[in-house]
Amino acid sequence: MRIAVAKEIRSGEARVALVPDIISKLTKAGLEVVIEAGAGVASGFQDSEFSAAGATVKSGNVISDADVVASVTALTPDQMKSLKKGALTISFLSPTTSVDSIEAAASAGVTALSLELVPRISRAQSMDALTSQALCAGYRASLVAAELSPRFFPLLMTAAGTVTPAQVVILGAGVAGLQAIATAKRLGAVVSAYDVRPSSADEVKSMGAKFITLELEALEGAGGYAREMTEERAAKQRELLTPYLAAADVVITTAAVPGRPAPRLVTGEMVSAMKSGAVIVDLAAETGGNVEGSKPGETITTANGVVLWGGKDVPSQLPYHASMLFSRNVVNLLLLMTKSVDGKPTGEVIPDFSDEIIDAATLTYGGARRTPEGKK
């Protein structure tokens, strides 16, 4: 069977779904890999590297006759319609924001797998692209904050006097938040973090940061995510967090609820209480924003001198390693669906819906949208 990777066409997307050093795992499984010429250039991977790894590099349309299409972002409805019946796609494919592409896949008889829907279970960790890309985003967030801040991050002892370290507050201690903590600490900042899940306190403290404890109800959700909160609780949380933000030099927000708009953690009033020169990095800007006034892809300076950076395509700003991690997630999911007879690969990719990972991740099959068996 043929696996194809085309150039990403979404504006600002620099990642590629497969990288050269992972190709051999697919060819050893009996699969043919075709890469569109130039697909990896923006990520730092040249066509010659793909060829040397065993892939075929072609110009023009590589997906219309492919059995499997791997991409970072969802294929467009037109791309879905161009695929042959029975083809399989693997990509980020949100059930809430990619409805047109999902419907097109169903109409075309395409089997579409969504990496957002890979369950958060131990057996699926190597396929969890949300986690791998969140790690990239968290790292990048602290670098952006350090670049935008007018302050040093570390404590410095100089002949001219002592420079005190930056005070960094991170809201949300999931994968992105923990990586932001680790990076800010490595840069020398004093870091505090808050999460609605008290169970994250030990992880925060293990990074050398202080956990902010608020007298509020815990919101532990399924799969390690936080549950959505009521407006009453959100208002009380904002009230209690305001003094911490007012004292901060940098605030990084990373909170997300799968399948829903990002929770509003920081209001305009809270931003107005922060000091001039403070920096806010909102990693959730693309899904509605944790911070009032943030806009994806824009850097805004408020009337009181606070710099507000809205994240957009943040993992794509580190395309080399983001692509490496993403491609491993894709290949591990693909290899879960490859078949062998007497230990020898058949070169076939066949989804098995009795496997809870494949069941949860597959949105369309056999010309229709499908409901995972585990949710019936």
* CATH number of the domain bearing residue 252: 3.40.50.720
Q: HSE on the CB side for 277, CA within 13 Å?
A: 8
- For residue 190, give both structure tokens: 């004093």
Q: Which residues lie across from 90 on neighbouring strands?
A: 70, 113
d(CA 198, CA 222): 14
d(CA 367, CA 105): 8
370 contacts 361 by C-beta, under 8 angstroms = no
For helices 129-148 and 175-186, the axis angle rounded to 10 degrees is: 40
Cβ neighbours of residue 240 closer than 8 Å, sequence gap 6 or more: 214, 215, 216
Does residue 193 sit within a domain?
yes
Whether residue 352 sits in one domain with residue 279: no
Whether residue 296 sits in one domain with residue 149: yes
pLDDT at 84: 96
Output the pTM of the full model.
0.92
For helices 319-337 and 129-148, the axis angle rounded to 10 degrees is: 170
Whether residue 334 sits in one domain with residue 313: no
In terms of Cα–Cα distance, which of 120, 244, 242 is closest to 175?
120
Does residue 247 sit within a domain?
yes
Domain that holds residue 21: 2-117+319-368
Whether residue 252 sits in one domain with residue 215: yes
Whether residue 323 sits in one domain with residue 282: no
Whether residue 172 sits in one domain with residue 49: no
Number of domains in the chain: 2
Whether residue 280 sits in one domain with residue 169: yes
Q: What is the Rg, in whole angstroms, of the alpha carbon atoms belonging to the chain?
A: 22
Whether residue 334 sits in one domain with residue 310: no
Whether residue 306 sits in one domain with residue 165: yes
Whether residue 279 sits in one domain with residue 183: yes
d(CA 223, CA 168): 27
Whether residue 274 sits in one domain with residue 201: yes
70 contacts 91 by C-beta, under 8 angstroms = yes
Whether residue 150 sits in one domain with residue 269: yes
pLDDT at 229: 72
Does residue 65 sit within a domain?
yes
pLDDT at 197: 87
Q: How distant, in Å, are the alpha carbons of 234, 307, 338, 359 from that of 362?
A: 34, 41, 16, 6
91 contacts 74 by C-beta, under 8 angstroms = yes
pLDDT at 220: 61
Q: Where among 301, 317, 333 does a domain terminate?
A: 317
Below-70 pLDDT ranges, the chain? 219-228, 259, 373-376
92 contacts 70 by C-beta, under 8 angstroms = no
In terms of Cα–Cα distance, which of 234, 263, 245 is closest to 172?
263
360 contacts 117 by C-beta, under 8 angstroms = yes
pLDDT at 198: 87
Cβ neighbours of residue 90 closer than 8 Å, sequence gap 6 or more: 17, 68, 69, 70, 71, 113, 115, 330, 333, 334
pLDDT at 160: 95
The single residue listed with the structure tokens 């585990």 is 374
Residue burial 8-31, b: 16+ Cβ < 10 Å; e: rest:
beeeebbbbbbbbebbebbbebbb
Tell me the backbone φ, ψ of residue 358, rounded to 5 degrees.
-65, -40
> What is the phi-psi region of residue 193: left when phi exceeds 0, alpha when psi lies from -120 to 50, beta otherwise?
beta
- For residue 243, give both structure tokens: 């003094």
Q: Cβ of 150: how many Cβ atoms within 10 Å?
A: 12
In terms of Cα–Cα distance, which of 210, 211, 228 is closest to 219?
228
Does residue 125 sit within a domain?
no
d(CA 347, CA 234): 52
